[in-house]
Amino acid sequence: MHQQSFPRITISGLRGGSGKTIISLALTWLFTQQGFKVKAFKKGPDYIDAKWLSLASGQHASNLDPFLFSTSRIKFFFSSFAGTHDLAVIEGNRGLFDGMDTRGSCSTSELARILESPVLLVLDCTKVTRTTAAIVQGCAMFEENLDLAGVILNQTAGARHRDITRRSIEKYTDVPVLGALPKLKDTPIPERHMGLISSQEYQGQDEIFRALGKVVQDNIDVELVLNIAGSAPACTKTQNHVQEISSDPLKEEAVIGVVRDRALWFYYQENLDALRQQGAKLVELSLLTPEDWPRIHGLYLGGGFPETSARELSVNVVARQKVKDLADQGLPIYAECGGFMYLAESLHYEGEDFDMAGVFNVQTRVYKKPQGHGYIRAGIIEPNPFYTTGDTIVGHEFHYSRCLSLSPEARFCMRMERGTGMAGYKDGLLYRNVLAGYAHVHAFSVENWAVNFVRAAGIFREHVDKSTGPCPDIVCK
């Protein structure tokens, strides 16, 4: 282990919707424009904010989560970017101290302490002035070993509002005010039920970042933010916890298709990296176009917004039939949330039913309110190609759809110890070598997932090379 300089800053707020995402994006973009190689992180299981941070930095953003990852894993993964990147911007989630319990387990403040990162607090100042000083002082004193290094005022109404609020905080606390943003007439990035609209659906990112960058640069001391990031202690490079290539390497390369289009694009980059590390070749595919696919030995269907592309998915009969045929042939298919919805018989959205691939005898319907939201913990109760029976996995779910008309013969491989799942606190529907559910997993918290996926793809490859019949059911042991 050795010490390596790695400037860093964590952006947090008092609640969701405080403006921390806008400021995180703008600072990441501004630092990148200044020539810094910025590594952006999103605290918690969030795909959309992480995607926008990736666009702002020109580098893949990563997720950090004390529930999904051990402290040693977080430290190793974070420190692995020291020396290759100039600084890190970490965007928190929810309120600074909000966690899973009264102790604030897995909160942004806990993550900041793990990373020894200074924290900037974004404060929504709507209809409040001097009271902000009490709030800031309370935050500064609430937990030990938290470096609350500065405050950014947001949603300020005018010069007088900004002046009173700033002077109150500076008089009653030792926390500096780094700037104050005015109320913005229009949100630069439109929002949907899961937060920001995805970059897959909304173009004009360059104009968005320029607009955000100008607002922040005109109203925040960006140089002081950079100095605060530089005040973070040296980063300790810790032991490598990344799982090495399987001790039983594939005789030939397995090809895993990954659907990435407007309908499905929720993937942790580390999941894709883990599959490659285990010897797989990944090819990107689309369910929205009729183009032929290359020969594949496994298929990964991530989450996303299939409902917004439901008509296109439905009319593409070629792709739907292709996926159904591959499932019948015993192709290992792993589907998460939106990917599961595509494998159902139909998807009901805004009063219409759309035909899907029909791998499972179930319908899904999208509602206006979440049907499952939060961390999950599940026991593996049925043999399958991806997990060992008896194991426990952790992950998260965030879905506005739910299952309708589940067949009594439906087989599930997960029993939910925490979370909602599909029905009766079960998740992970099984058909042949297909596993589909609402649960999202991260390769850092379920390390054997990538090993087992690639091994199953290799078994399928070996079978089709020797036989013309369907591949037998594959069981992870």
Q: What does the block give as tokens for 150? A: 């500065």
Residue 337 annotated among the catalytic residues of the structure:
yes
* Identified catalytic residue from 125, 337, 403, 413: 337
The answer to whether 153 touches 18, Cβ cutoff 8 Å, is no
Q: What is the DSSP string of 258-293?
A: EE-SSSEEE--HHHHHHHHHTTEEEEEE-SSS-PPP
* Helices vs. strands in the chain: H and E counts, helices first: 13, 26
The answer to whether 50 touches 28, Cβ cutoff 8 Å, is no
CA distances from 50 to 45, 58, 206, 267 (A): 9, 12, 17, 10
Q: What is the DSSP string of 188-226?
A: SS-EETTEEPPTTT---HHHHHHHHHHHHHHHB-HHHHH
| Strand, helix or coil for residue 363 | strand
Residue 453 CA to residue 470 CA, distance in Å, equals 18
In this structure, the chain runs to a length of 477
Q: What phi and psi values does residue 141 have, to the nearest 5 degrees?
A: -100, -5
Residue 386 CA to residue 476 CA, distance in Å, equals 6
Cβ–Cβ contacts within 10 Å for residue 145, how many?
8
Nearest to 188 by CA among 15, 11, 13, 25: 25
Residue found by looking up tokens 């989630």 in the block: 93
In sequence order, the β-bridge partners of residue 280 are: 254
The answer to whether 427 touches 414, Cβ cutoff 8 Å, is yes
Q: Who's near 39: CB < 8 A, 6+ residues apart?
A: 57, 59, 61, 62, 81, 85, 87, 88, 89
Strand ranges (DSSP E) for 65-166? 87-95, 119-124, 148-156
Residue 294 CA to residue 59 CA, distance in Å, equals 28
Judged on CB neighbours under 10 Å (0-12, 13-18, 19+), 206 is exposed
Query: Which residues belong to the active site?
Result: 337
